Amino acid sequence: MSENTIRIGLVSVSDRASQGVYQDQGVPGLQAWLGEALATPWEPVVRLIPDERPMIEHTLIELVDHEGCSLVLTTGGTGPAPRDVTPDATLAVADREMPGFGEQMRQISLNFVPTAILSRQVAVIRGKALIINLPGQPKSIRETLEGLKDADGKQRVHGIFAAVPYCLDLIGAPYVETNESLCKAFRPKSAKRG
């Protein structure tokens, strides 16, 4: 791994997938999207865990504090059901909350389903890492990260990933560049390199 490589934690939170009842689709969906979207070299650190708050908290701490992940993306466990505890665990390990990410994720999803308001997705900072709770379905993951484009390919609603690289800059994480044809990262001119 070179010093320019960013480590990204990918966590699928699912009782049934972690027990092998069905195959997880969240992490493969994330890996596929990041593979297309990132121009910066990256290394995934993958975890598939049950909907258990202590396990989720432990996993997030491990990925940031011991595995050196600068970005952690979780998928699953963000609804109102009693077993949906991913946001609670994420907030418990946070130094600071970043509410704009959750607000924008719900706004994007509301374009497709009225039940998007039931999502409790959050994003937080822990040390020099950004942790974001994403939806569980690959289609929803892509829409949330990438945003919505019209028939001509013009960005109609910005996806949340457009703000991720600059957020990482601000918290002291590695500099990340994206493939602009898929997801154009926004940075002020003064923050752009080369």
As a CATH number, domain 6-191 is 3.40.980.10
d(CA 185, CA 194): 15
pLDDT in tens, 6-61: 999 999 998 676 676 677 888 999 999 999 999 999 999 999 999 999 999 999 99
Q: What is the mean pLDDT of residues 97-108?
A: 96
Per-residue pLDDT band for 2 (boundaries 50, 70, 90) equals low
Q: Evaluate whether 120 touches 84 at the Cβ level (below 8 Å).
A: yes
The domain ranges of the chain are 6-191
Q: What is the mean pLDDT of residues 97-112?
A: 95
Q: Is the per-residue pLDDT at 194 higher than 70?
A: no
Per-residue pLDDT band for 193 (boundaries 50, 70, 90) equals confident
As a whole-number percent, the residues of the chain with pLDDT over 90 amount to 75
Strand partners of residue 71: 8, 130
d(CA 156, CA 97): 26
Q: Evaluate whether 174 touches 168 at the Cβ level (below 8 Å).
A: yes
Please count the other Cβ atoms lying within 10 Å of the Cβ belonging to residue 68: 15
d(CA 93, CA 4): 26
